[in-house]
Amino acid sequence: MNAIQRLLISSLRKRRVVLRFQSNDRPTVPLGSRILTDPAKVYEHNMWDHMEWTQEEEATAREKTTENSSVRVRLEDQVKYESQASKYWNDFYKIHKNKFFKDRNWLLREFPEILPVGLQTKEEKGKMSWDHVKTNDTDSFSNIDCLAMLKGVESGKKDSGADFTYSQSEIRSGNNQYPEKKRGEPVETDLFPGSHAAFRILEVGCGAGNSVFPILNALKNAPETFLYCCDFASGAVELVKSHSSYSPAQCSAFVHDVCDDGLSYPFPDGILDVILLVFVLSSIHPDRMQGVVNRLSKLLKPGGMLLFRDHGRYDLTQLRFKKGCCLSENFYVRGDGTRAYFFTEGEVHNMFHQAGLDEKQNLVDRRLQVNRKEKVKMHRVWVQGKFQKPLHSFHNDPDNLFPGVSAG
């Protein structure tokens, strides 16, 4: 491989990682921008961001959880809640249908990685400036430069023996997400939902579609994208499929129990660009969480992102549980039979690290919710993270961007 080819591969490899992980910090607008600097003004707004707890507040929260977990749910009832988990969630959706949760329009602001590069929201397009990315002389190509050089590489592939399997349409799609193909490997001929797509997303625990439809709305002008969504409550999946915005051409909703390792997905491993895991893992028994995360990791392609958000330790919801609702440490059952676990930042780090994913973001989101009429202050806590599957090393081309092109 000549110097120009090596330079191109290095540029595309670095560029791809930077672009896929689009946001390192919390967005400033509209989330994360309301900071309480004057305690006397606490009742002027309904929510304050980035709240720091005092030692007294944290001690009080710890005391409340110690108290409400002092009486545990009977073992036979714990077995029932585990074995009939899908029944309780099906009952939940029968009662509430699609009216319980609001659409998660905040998703695209918190997780711009959901979208292929080039489809960022207006806010993200304003933030995504190369002025914010530190580059050196070998990583400062424009997309036009890269395409022009790539044409030059492709024109000489017969002489070099390179086995390129990527079309110009794949390259021009703007997301630099090349299919993971090894030299000599035949092109995938088995069709599956979304097999045509160049960019694939999976939402685990889709519920009534409160994330699905904001995402589909953002992807409506991107025909090369595909969204999978699953839930182990069949009632939830039916709600998604019956929605007026559901389109089998760009979305596949299916029933799936992520805790069952024996169940296959309707697509091969290693093809997903993004997995969305939002307020789902907390409903799973703690002993089964690691297995779930390990399995999801296998679905990601190298460089793919898993986006996580869930309940944080000492959130108001945890503190409000009464005695007799605790299943195990920091794991509770609600009155309707559904369950909730409350995570720490360290627990989240350990789980995804053990699954072989690199941590790109892992933060505790502390906010103060205010009832201005009743003069009541309530602490809310969530944990949010972004975890990337490492780029595997195939011979001397770690990203396998150009199968058949050696570094020699």
> Where do the domains of the chain lie?
3-388
**Beta carbons within 8 Å of 23's beta carbon, 6+ residues apart:** 110, 111, 112, 113, 124, 127, 361
pTM score: 0.73
Report how far residue 110's alpha carbon sits from residue 31's, in angstroms, rounded to the nearest whole number.
Answer: 8
Report how far residue 86's alpha carbon sits from residue 283's, in angstroms, rounded to the nearest whole number.
Answer: 11
Rounded to a whole number of angstroms, the CA Rg of the chain reads 23
CATH topology of domain 3-388: Rossmann fold (3.40.50)
**How long is the chain?**
408
Amino acid at 306: L
Q: Give me the tens of pLDDT residue by residue for the chain, a chain 408 residues long.
A: 555 555 544 444 444 444 445 555 555 444 567 787 777 777 777 777 887 888 998 999 999 999 999 999 999 999 999 999 989 988 888 887 665 566 787 888 889 999 998 765 444 444 443 233 333 333 332 333 333 333 333 333 333 333 323 333 333 333 333 344 443 333 444 689 999 999 999 999 998 888 999 999 999 888 899 999 999 999 999 999 999 999 999 999 999 999 998 899 999 999 999 999 999 999 999 999 999 999 999 999 999 999 999 999 999 999 999 999 999 999 999 999 999 999 999 999 999 999 999 999 999 999 888 888 888 888 899 999 999 999 864 433 444 444 444 343
Report how far residue 246's alpha carbon sits from residue 240's, in angstroms, rounded to the nearest whole number.
Answer: 7
8 A C-beta contact, residue 362 and residue 345: yes
